[in-house]
Amino acid sequence: MMVSLQGFAKKEVRADRFIIQGQIFEMDIMNETDKSAQNVQIIVYQDKEVYASFYCKENGAYEFILPIGHEYELWFGGKDFVNKKVYVDTRSMTAKASGYECNLDMGLFRPLKNVEFPCLVDHYVKVRFDTEYKQLIPDYEYSQFKAKEVEKAIRKAKKTTTGF
C-alpha cells in the first residue's frame, strides 16, 4: 500500500509552522493499478478537535500549513474511499528559522461491497519529531507492519470478491 514520506525542508514556512504536502493516488486494488485521485477529502484534527477540512486538487496534490506544538490526526479519503489516518506529533518541535516540511504521498482505494478493512481503524502512518535530527520522521517499523496488514486484508478481499 503506497505511502511515501520525507522530511526535508525545501520551502519557506514560518518558524512556528510546518507544511504537509503530497500527492494522493487512487488505487484499483482488484486490477493493481493507480492514478492521480481527484477531489479527495482530507480532515485535520488538532489535539482531537476538527481543525480543518478540505479537498485535494484535481491532480491529487494537496498542501497545508499547521502550527507546531500539537498532536494531529489526518484523515484521507472521506465518504468515497476507505479512509487512512496519519498521526503526526509535533509537541516536541521547536521553532526554527524556516519551519519544517513533511512530504506525504498516499494511496487510497474505494470500498468493496461486503468487505471491511479493520486494519485501517488505527493510524496507517505515525510521524514524530526527532530531536536529534531536528526533523519529522515516520515510525518505519510501524508503517511496514501496517502495510503488511493492509496487503493481507486486500488479498482476503480479492478472494472474497472474486472467489479466487
What CATH number is associated with residue 102?
2.60.40.10
Distance of CA 4 to the CA centre of its chain: 9
Over residues 77-98, the pLDDT tens digits come to 999 999 999 999 999 988 775 6
SS3 27: strand
Domain span at residue 28 reads 3-162
Q: DSSP 3-state assignment of 102?
A: strand
More confident residue, 87 or 11: 87
Three-class SS of residue 163?
Answer: coil
Q: pLDDT-based confidence at 2, cuts 50/70/90?
A: very low
* Range from 51-60, 66-75, 95-104, 134-143 carrying the lowest mean pLDDT: 95-104
Domain count, the chain: 1
Three-state helix/strand/coil letters over 89-154: ECCCCCCCCCCEEEEEEEEECCCCCCCCCHHHCCCCEEEEEECCCCEEEECHHHHHHHHHHHHHHH
